[in-house]
Chains A and B, each alone.
Chain A
Amino acid sequence: MKNTLCCILQNRLGALDRVLEAMTYRGFIPEQFLSSLDTDTNCLHVTLTYVCADSKTIDKLVKFLNKQVYVLHAYSVESASSLEANVTELFPGNLKPAPVFATQNTRR
């Protein structure tokens, strides 16, 4: 089954590494990868497609990712279609981070 992992990350050093390493260690091999930076909020929006048939393994990965300090939100959806077409749907407006972050983040 093809799935898409969606993550909104605080764009700080090491944030993306934690996501990718967690996936690698658990045997998730990405087939497609998209990312874009929201410069207003300094959030990195990441989508990765991968094949995984075991929903429990996916749940565990998503729970683990949501525990990471720089991960604002992570979730997985079933998706067989092209990522480009779905990026807007995958990151609906209500997932924007809290205002405090948008105003205070100046970290390199």
Chain B
Amino acid sequence: MNRPANCVPQAPQAAPVSVVCTGAHVVLKSLVAEGVEKVFGLPGGVILSIYEALPEYPIEHILVRHEQGAVHMAEGYARSTGKTGVVLVTSGPGATNTVTGIADAYYDSVPLVVFTGNVATGMLGNDSFQEADIVGITRAVTKHNIIVRDVRDLASAIREAFYIANTGRPGPVLVDLPKDVLLASTEYNPENVTLDLPGYSTETDTYTEHDLEQALELLRTARQPVMLCGGGVVNAGANAEVLAFAERFQLPVACSLMGLGGFPADHPLYMGFCGMHGHYWANIAIANADVLLIVGNRLSERQTGKADRFARNAKIIHIDMDPTSLQKNVEATLPIQGDIGHIFTDLLRLTESEAMAPHSRETWFDTIEQWKARRQPMQTPAAVLTPQYAIERLFHWMPKDGFVTTEVGQHQMWAAQRFNLSRPRSFISSGGLGTMGFGFPAAIGIQSAFPDKTVLDIAGDGSFQMTLQELATAKAYNLPVKVAIINNGYLGMVRQWQGKMFNRESETRLTSPDYVKLAEAYGCAGFVVESPEDVDRVIQEAFAITDRPVLIDFPVQEKADVYPWVPAGASNEEMLTEDDNKGE
């Protein structure tokens, strides 16, 4: 039997056996015990002991080129699989480089456990080389974090970290590992690892049957109801229950950015994307609703516009598992706290014998259709490649079992408007923090979990240049991620805002490398689309490549703006459309 030299069995017992081993081995044994198969990381001085032991464990390590990339990859992995993403980095800059990714995971409720190294406990506070108080730095952007100062606490700390990350409202947990803790020896027995978290409750259901009856009564009598699905539906895995309920009550459904995929995009009840750049008819339907059922959405200002005018004619039923999301930004008539899956299972049970007549909301649906008909998307000019057209064709050719990520900016909103997949966890974007550079590493994380599926990152030239060094990572593992760069030569969303709000564009013009040459330099495939007629052919050729990463450069119309657009501080009803723009 191959056994680590510093991992000596204490007694010949039946497995699991209690062993004396170093902290480094405790970390790896704990990961195996948690079912971790994949870790995204980058080695460094204080965590060498973990990397020395790593080959002895059944854990695949993805070596990244920058720690921010590791966290976004872990996010993509976690959001696409539903498992907890794991990151391993060293101290100092290794740790601080993870902060943006951790914050991104925090605001988008992604279960991660991030292991950072630190200098030895005796050196903490000495301004030692590559020392950083990463626990202090990340306190505000983690669900929980801890520095382990005694090797005897290590196994429990890791057990707690996974438990906290993946229960309740998911989120990132950081475990800081001083060098001496990893080198010290302790007894490890997985059966003796306990949780000591009396203040942490995973029981989120505070609702009563009376609450549900009240909600049902509002919906039964509603003439113009709307359901708004947020990311909570996806996280809860409650899409089937939510769909069944929407069908039973004939509720038109809009999705937030994080909720995309939570309701099938090809369903007749699906209205589309709502919020600041949402579909006109979805926003107007919400504004005119008499009952608005909000499910798993924290109602940020990007969603609501001016909060006190959001759905002002509606009685609002707000369902969320997180009590801090209820009555925070919008006052609900009926806040209901609990697990979304549990609530909708109960709602379906309570209405088992009920069925809305299929056309009982005919007038309401007709009205929505009229709004839709009046605001069809702008037609593509034949001579110019528009970003909207490029993205539309990408979705056209996207296999239905594929995954789409985005970066952040104009392309992200155009992608959300055109999203046409029908599976939860198929659209993965940075919603809360809005992290440029998220989409490409996230796509690598997804592709590593689903090597046979098509994974497409719809990127902007500004965003892609923030994390493009991970091309080396994708190539090293031959992960055939497709990156479509919607290349308008601008920080497009910033330019749009500057132009509309300040009448002056400033520092938004961007230069790009030759993306085909860049791809080739990294050993990837590269394409450039020369004209609108080439779009379909190039996409098909690019999608057919399955042995290496692919970059597609779409040099698009430079100054296209995203519409509809709710200017900051305005209500959703005051959104600007293409027609308003033409009139200027």
Chain A nearest CB from B23 CB (Å) reads 15
On whether the beta carbons of B164 and A105 are closer than 8 Å, the reply is no
On whether the beta carbons of A105 and B323 are closer than 8 Å, the reply is no
**B146 surroundings in chain A (CB, below 8 A):** 12-14
The residue in chain B whose Cβ has the minimal distance to the Cβ of A20 is B139
Overall SS of chain A's interface: mixed
4 closest residue pairs by CB, A with B: A101-B198, A72-B199, A63-B324, A69-B144
On whether the beta carbons of A101 and B196 are closer than 8 Å, the reply is yes
Whether, in the assembled complex, B145 has its beta carbon less than 8 Å from a beta carbon of chain A, the answer is: yes
- Find B136's partner among A17, A68, A72, A97 (CB 8 Å cutoff): A17
Given contacts A69-B199, A71-B199, A104-B194, contact A14 B153 (CB under 8 A): no
Q: Complex: how many Å from CA A35 to CA B339?
A: 35
The residue in chain B whose Cβ has the minimal distance to the Cβ of A97 is B198
Whether, in the assembled complex, B149 has its beta carbon less than 8 Å from a beta carbon of chain A, the answer is: yes
Chain A nearest CB from B132 CB (Å) reads 15
Given contacts A64-B324, A68-B199, 16 further A-B contacts (CB under 8 A): A9-B199, A10-B196, A10-B197, A13-B147, A14-B135, A14-B146, A14-B147, A17-B139, A59-B327, A69-B143, A69-B197, A97-B198, A101-B198, A107-B153, A107-B196, A108-B149
Q: Kindly state the interface size class of chain A when it binds its partner.
A: 20 to 34
**B144 surroundings in chain A (CB, below 8 A):** 68-69
On whether the beta carbons of B199 and A100 are closer than 8 Å, the reply is no
**A60 surroundings in chain B (CB, below 8 A):** 324, 328
Chain A: residues with CB nearer than 8 A to chain B?
A: 9-10, 12-14, 17-18, 21, 25, 59-60, 63-64, 66-73, 97-98, 100-101, 104-105, 107-108
**B150 surroundings in chain A (CB, below 8 A):** 108
Q: Complex: how many Å from CA A60 to CA B329?
A: 10
What are 14 residue pairs bridging A and B, where the CB atoms are less than 8 Å apart in the complex? A10-B196, A10-B197, A10-B199, A12-B146, A64-B324, A67-B322, A69-B164, A69-B197, A70-B199, A71-B199, A72-B199, A98-B198, A100-B198, A107-B156
Chain B nearest CB from A62 CB (Å) reads 10
Q: Complex: how many Å from CA A53 to CA B140?
A: 24
Q: Complex: how many Å from CA A18 to CA B153?
A: 21
Q: Complex: how many Å from CA A34 to CA B150?
A: 29
**B156 surroundings in chain A (CB, below 8 A):** 107
Q: Complex: how many Å from CA A12 to CA B198?
A: 12
Interface residues contributed by chain B, number (CB under 8 Å): 25
Chain A nearest CB from B99 CB (Å) reads 15
Whether, in the assembled complex, B200 has its beta carbon less than 8 Å from a beta carbon of chain A, the answer is: yes
On whether the beta carbons of B198 and A14 are closer than 8 Å, the reply is no
On whether the beta carbons of B324 and A67 are closer than 8 Å, the reply is yes
On whether the beta carbons of B140 and A10 are closer than 8 Å, the reply is no
**B323 surroundings in chain A (CB, below 8 A):** 63, 66-67
Within 8 A of A (CB), among B238-297: none
Q: Complex: how many Å from CA A96 to CA B147?
A: 27
- Find A13's partner among B149, B164, B199 (CB 8 Å cutoff): B149
Q: Complex: how many Å from CA A64 to CA B327?
A: 13
Q: Complex: how many Å from CA A108 to CA B148?
A: 9
Q: Complex: how many Å from CA A70 to CA B199?
A: 5
Q: Complex: how many Å from CA A70 to CA B136?
A: 15
On whether the beta carbons of A18 and B147 are closer than 8 Å, the reply is no
On whether the beta carbons of B153 and A10 are closer than 8 Å, the reply is no
On whether the beta carbons of B196 and A21 are closer than 8 Å, the reply is no
- Find A21's partner among B140, B143, B147, B328 (CB 8 Å cutoff): B140
**B197 surroundings in chain A (CB, below 8 A):** 10, 69
Q: Complex: how many Å from CA A105 to CA B135?
A: 22
**B140 surroundings in chain A (CB, below 8 A):** 21, 25
On whether the beta carbons of A21 and B153 are closer than 8 Å, the reply is no
The residue in chain B whose Cβ has the minimal distance to the Cβ of A24 is B140
Q: Complex: how many Å from CA A29 to CA B194?
A: 37
Given contacts A21-B140, A69-B197, contact A14 B324 (CB under 8 A): no
Q: Complex: how many Å from CA A84 to CA B333?
A: 40
**B328 surroundings in chain A (CB, below 8 A):** 60
**A21 surroundings in chain B (CB, below 8 A):** 139-140
Given contacts A13-B146, A14-B135, A14-B146, contact A69 B324 (CB under 8 A): no
**A104 surroundings in chain B (CB, below 8 A):** 194, 196
Q: Complex: how many Å from CA A59 to CA B324?
A: 9
Q: Complex: how many Å from CA A21 to CA B136?
A: 10
The residue in chain A whose Cβ has the minimal distance to the Cβ of B168 is A67
On whether the beta carbons of A14 and B139 are closer than 8 Å, the reply is yes
Within 8 A of A (CB), among B307-341: 322-324, 327-328
Q: Complex: how many Å from CA A17 to CA B136?
A: 8
Q: Complex: how many Å from CA A97 to CA B156?
A: 20
Q: Complex: how many Å from CA A47 to CA B151?
A: 33
**A72 surroundings in chain B (CB, below 8 A):** 198-199
The residue in chain A whose Cβ has the minimal distance to the Cβ of B325 is A63
Chain A nearest CB from B198 CB (Å) reads 4
Chain B nearest CB from A26 CB (Å) reads 11
Chain B nearest CB from A85 CB (Å) reads 27
Q: Tell which of B145, B196, B327, B328 has the most Cβ of chain A within 10 Å.
A: B196
Chain A nearest CB from B269 CB (Å) reads 33
Q: Complex: how many Å from CA A10 to CA B143?
A: 16
On whether the beta carbons of A14 and B196 are closer than 8 Å, the reply is no
Q: Tell which of A13, A59, A63, A69 has the most Cβ of chain B within 10 Å.
A: A69
**B147 surroundings in chain A (CB, below 8 A):** 13-14
The residue in chain B whose Cβ has the minimal distance to the Cβ of A65 is B324
Q: Complex: how many Å from CA A12 to CA B156?
A: 13
Q: Complex: how many Å from CA A71 to CA B324?
A: 15
**B196 surroundings in chain A (CB, below 8 A):** 10, 101, 104-105, 107
Chain A nearest CB from B488 CB (Å) reads 36
Chain A nearest CB from B326 CB (Å) reads 9
Chain B nearest CB from A44 CB (Å) reads 11
The residue in chain B whose Cβ has the minimal distance to the Cβ of A72 is B199
**B135 surroundings in chain A (CB, below 8 A):** 14
**A18 surroundings in chain B (CB, below 8 A):** 139
Q: Complex: how many Å from CA A71 to CA B140?
A: 15
Chain B nearest CB from A103 CB (Å) reads 11
